[in-house]
């Protein structure tokens, strides 16, 4: 990412470029798999530039994980919006998107939850909690639109299936994990819905 002599530096562009490069490296190598010196050398930036934009490696990790969470939530919201108005279709779309992600050649599990598992203290844990809360909000919205008796309770069950499917796909290499979770999620939603319609 060296800048040609005489070129004008754009701080926002520099920060975004560092985030992109660091996201790829940290996902491939893990938080402890690469030190600051190697990280800077590989990205082509000085330590001073890294510290100016992020304060520390910990600050960079927080920014990388937060940006990844934002990207995932946009992706989930887009899948739900594209599915139309039926909550069953919306929920199916969430798990279909999950299955596509699991099938990507670069898939190595959820970087946010992996980071929180590696580091119980620090920024990764806080970002992971917020990330799960945001996913829970999406699923609660779907459950609410389905008019089930306890949307939050159902959403927690659905989130358990979603997170569990990703762990199974990553650590067990199961290509059907998202599809199995989708079947269970739709069964839970339909069952909860039928209870709300019962006389």
**Mind listing the domains of the chain with CATH numbers?**
64-197 (1.10.357.10)
pLDDT at residue 5, as a whole number = 41
pLDDT at residue 27, as a whole number = 79
Low-confidence ranges of the chain (pLDDT < 50): 1-8
For 34, list phi and psi in degrees, rounded to 5: -150, 130
pLDDT at residue 197, as a whole number = 62
Contacts of 91 (CB under 8 A, 6+ apart): 139, 142, 158, 182, 185, 186, 189
- Does the pTM surpass 0.95? The reply is no
The pLDDT tens digits for 52-87 are: 999 988 888 899 899 999 999 999 999 999 999 999
List, as own/partner pairs, every contact residues 46-54 make where C-beta atoms lie below 8 angstroms and the sequence separation is at least 24, other chains included.
Answer: 49/14, 49/18, 50/18, 53/11, 53/14, 53/15, 53/18, 54/15, 54/18
């Amino acid at each position: 990412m060296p800048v040609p002599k005489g070129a004008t530096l754009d701080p926002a562009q520099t920060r975004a470029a560092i985030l992109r490069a660091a996201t790829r490296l940290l996902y491939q190598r893990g938080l402890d798999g690469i030190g600051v010196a190697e990280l800077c050398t590989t990205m082509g930036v000085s330590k001073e530039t890294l510290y100016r934009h992020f304060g520390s490696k910990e600050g960079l990790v927080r920014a990388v994980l937060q940006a990844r969470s934002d990207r995932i939530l946009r992706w989930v919201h887009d899948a739900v919006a594209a599915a139309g108005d039926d909550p069953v279709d919306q929920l199916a779309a969430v798990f279909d998107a999950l299955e596509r992600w699991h099938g990507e050649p670069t898939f190595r599990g959820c970087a946010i939850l992996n980071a929180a598992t590696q580091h119980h203290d620090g920024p990764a844990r806080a970002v992971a909690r917020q990330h799960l809360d945001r996913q829970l909000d999406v699923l609660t919205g779907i459950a609410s639109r389905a008019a089930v008796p306890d949307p939050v309770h159902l959403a927690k069950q659905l989130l358990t299936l979603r997170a569990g499917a990703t762990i199974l796909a990553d650590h067990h290499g199961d290509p059907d994990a998202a599809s199995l979770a989708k079947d269970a999620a739709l069964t839970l939603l339909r069952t909860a819905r039928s209870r709300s319609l019962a006389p």
